[in-house]
Structure 1
Amino acid sequence: MIKKLDEMEKHLKLGERAILSVAAAHNEEVLISIKEAVNRGVIQPILVGNIDKIKSISKSINLDLENIELIQEDDIVKCAEIAVRLVHDNKADFIMKGLLDTSILLKAVLNKEYGLKKEGLLSHVMIHEVESYHKLLLISDGGMNISPNYEQKEGIIKNAILAAKSLGIEEIKVACIAAVEKINPKMQATIDAHKLQEACENGLFGKNVIVEGPLAFDLAVSSHASEVKGLKSIVSGDVDIIITPTIEVGNALGKSLTYMTKSKSAGVIMGASVPIVLTSRADSSESKLYSIIYGALISKNI
């Protein structure tokens, strides 16, 4: 079981680089993370974008392009299409967003002719390494689905479970969080969380998965908090996945961990046939690198 982000790299097969297609790759921050992933032997990139800009940036950051395929395209919409088609045609293992809007890339991913969409929905999964927690913590969904209904939450859990399996977790523990741990008819999050727990008990999420809810966040991450409140819980203090009721909760929780606890993190979009690396301009180069490595790890395990 992988408990630290640095351990992910060791679980990729030595000498077997994942092929990463990058849409609109003419961006310094993206190319810096690409350079580090290449130097570590994690990926073999295909860079789609303005070749002159890619070469200029690569020269300034000492990225060797000799063995890297470059595809010329100035139009960012076409950049997205080409990058997605590379995956669709089995010429790349996963995809990364470069200097283009997320909506443009996702529109290509959802294209009915050459896209990468499977049944279900797309959702964002962040993985955090927090110094005060004994293993990696996954949070979903703080980046895609604004106010998911019950059915969408089922999809979010399924995607997060798939992302967690790549970490070698034998028994995946999921907490559906809310403000309180009791069902309240006026709080939809508590109703959905309880239904999700029942669905898990009825086998919806497969073997070796435990879903509990509703749980307040402190009860999810602290067994001591559960003991104090007299709550019997299997996942409390040992949770792997936090499912948030809305995007605001997921977004705030993830950024709180990043900025207030200085946690290391990585993020991917799940729900397509391959993981999609979608980093923010504010993300550190370390976070971008970990996201690429996590995407490579997932792509080799799905």
Structure 2
Amino acid sequence: MNTRSTLPVPSGDFLENHPIDEIQVGDGATLVRQVTERDIQLFAAVSGDVNPAHVDALYAKTSHFHEIIAHGMLGGSLISTVLGTQFPGPGTIYLGQTLKFLKPVHIGDTLTVTVKVTSMDKTTRRVRLATTCIDQDGDVVIDGEAEVIAPTERLRILRTDLPEPLMADKNLRYDQLLNAAKALPRIKMGVVHPCSREALEGALDADRLGLIQALLIGPEPRIRSLAEECQLDLSGFSILDVPHSHAAAAKAVELARAGEVDALMKGSLHSDELLSAVVNAQSGLRTERRVSHVFVLDVPRYPKPLLITDAAINVAPDFDAKVDIVQNAIDLAHALGIERPKVAILSAVETVTPKLRSSMDAAALSKMADRGQITGGLVDGPLAFDNAVSLAAAKTKGIQSEVAGDADILVVPDLESGNMLAKQLEYLGGAQAAGIVMGAKVPIVLTSRADSAHSRIASCAIAILLIAHGLKALA
């Protein structure tokens, strides 16, 4: 059975060329293209040319041009586009090109790119063409000459559909977070056992950025040896010498209880070591609220920050623990400036199913929010992951909800599912992650030992916003 489509293909979906026998002096082609900021960013990403004149708006303001300009070779690449796809077209071999850059190209400029044959040798199939790029004001911005070998056979080839490139400014939300934190007073942070490069570097960088005043708590000889090995300058930093990680955790909690530090940051010790000191009934930092962890993720394909809880502390939380987990996440969202966060309680399905405990818990948590027992956010569930973050998926399944497809917070059934979800988004989805512990007397930056200094700095910024929000609430 022949399954090939017999529907006609629009002519615009084909590339057609001009063989050497059909080419005359004076022939040519033209392409009109508006240069966008996205074009410049994509060209920078592909070429690696991140000259600040092209990608840094603040620097560009101080330059000779006073604003971002396009790479000269971006315009030059449009000449190649005309030669390879229009004239002479497919089958053309590009031999050489001269270019003179006569005027800068700015974001929003419209370029008319023209190639025109000036001479040719049909025996060798060599063709010379004048190549020009003219802007919307009629000024020549690029002038040059190309030499090509023209094709011999006429070709008509279906245009290849390329995938849409994903452009995500991975630093935009990070910079916004840092700028918000920098506008607030720096906090005193106890850095617990910073005995890996990532942990020590993150603490030092956060201090030098003006976010925190770092107190390094751990074995001093080991910390100084690490700093020397990694060429990190410890000048001006205080080190509280203790013999090992257990002692560091105990001392850090003691300082937090006494109000000598405002927050804690986990270094290279195991999370259990620090948390066992935090939740100790006699000497710890417990409150009436259950301690829980919240990941704050910047996912490139999601239009806003995404909070996931609990993926690090509560292994299989019972219903009472989930109530606190939800409220902790809502409180964090408020500190991040999300006035009425949308909370999706996740399950494998979006229907209440008695045999599935997570769906029953989700339904009860939603009803508690309706009755004011959980406050400050819109809570709905059970919702499956797809219809929690995709409006299209929610509509397909006929779900009527203010939360579905637009969640700010995802509450997972247990630690395993949450940890896998967060790590998948980070390592496969390109998300940037920060992490904070809620429910203790002070914020606790709790990142993975493998997390970068960048992640630790973002987590410090979150701790600052949390403290400022708490002080504001008490005022």
TM-score, scaled relative to structure 2:
0.60
Q: Which residue of 2 aligns with 1:76?
A: 245
Gaps of 5+ in 1: none
Q: How does 1:86-235 map to 2 (within 5 A)?
A: 86-207=255-376, 209-235=377-403
List per-residue Cα deviations over 1:133-189 (Å, max 9, x = no partner).
110000001111111121111011011111111111111110001111111111111
Q: In structure 2, what residue type is equivalent to 1:50?
A: P
Aligned partner of residue 469 in structure 2, secondary structure: coil
Q: 1:241 aligns with which of 391, 409, 415?
A: 409
List per-residue Cα deviations over 1:240-263 (Å, max 9, x = no partner).
100011111101110110111111
Paired residues of 1:21 and 1:96 also in contact (CA < 8 A): yes
Query: Is 1:266 aligned to 2:417, yes or no?
Result: no
Shift of residue 288, structure 1, vs aligned partner: 2.4
d(CA) in 2 for partners of 1:129, 1:76: 31
List per-residue Cα deviations over 1:230-288 (Å, max 9, x = no partner).
11110122211000111111011101101111111101111101121122122233222
Q: In structure 2, what residue type is equivalent to 1:169?
A: I
d(CA) in 2 for partners of 1:68, 1:242: 38
List per-residue Cα deviations over 1:44-75 (Å, max 9, x = no partner).
10011111222222234444333222111113
Gaps of 5+ in 2: 1-171, 471-475
Mean Cα displacement is larger for which, 117-126 or 94-103? 94-103
d(CA) in 2 for partners of 1:30, 1:300: 24
Query: Is 1:21 aligned to 2:190, yes or no?
Result: yes
d(CA) in 1 for partners of 2:375, 2:367: 13
Aligned partner of residue 183 in structure 2, secondary structure: coil
Q: In structure 1, what residue type is equivalent to 2:305?
A: L
Shift of residue 29, structure 1, vs aligned partner: 1.7
Shift of residue 126, structure 1, vs aligned partner: 0.4
Aligned partner of residue 301 in structure 1, secondary structure: helix
Mean Cα displacement is larger for which, 85-94 or 277-286? 277-286
Shift of residue 13, structure 1, vs aligned partner: 4.8
Percent identical across equivalent pairs?
A: 38
Aligned partner of residue 4 in structure 1, secondary structure: helix
Q: In structure 2, do the counterparts of structure 1 residues 66 and 152 end up closer, same or farther at CA, with 3 Å as the change threshold? A: same
d(CA) in 2 for partners of 1:159, 1:271: 7
Q: In structure 1, what residue type is equivalent to 2:222?
A: K
- List, as ranges, runs of 4+ consecutive aligned residues in structure 1 with deviation greater than 3 Å: 59-64
d(CA) in 2 for partners of 1:84, 1:59: 28
**Over alpha carbons, which structure has the higher Rg?**
2
d(CA) in 1 for partners of 2:444, 2:357: 30
Query: Is 1:50 aligned to 2:219, yes or no?
Result: yes
Paired residues of 1:26 and 1:51 also in contact (CA < 8 A): no
Paired residues of 2:204 and 2:214 also in contact (CA < 8 A): no
d(CA) in 1 for partners of 2:386, 2:183: 39
TM-score, scaled relative to structure 1:
0.94
- Count matched residues: 299
Q: Which residue of 1 aligns with 2:421?
A: 253
Q: Which has the bigger relative contact order, CA under 8 A and spacing at least 6?
A: 1
d(CA) in 1 for partners of 2:236, 2:200: 15
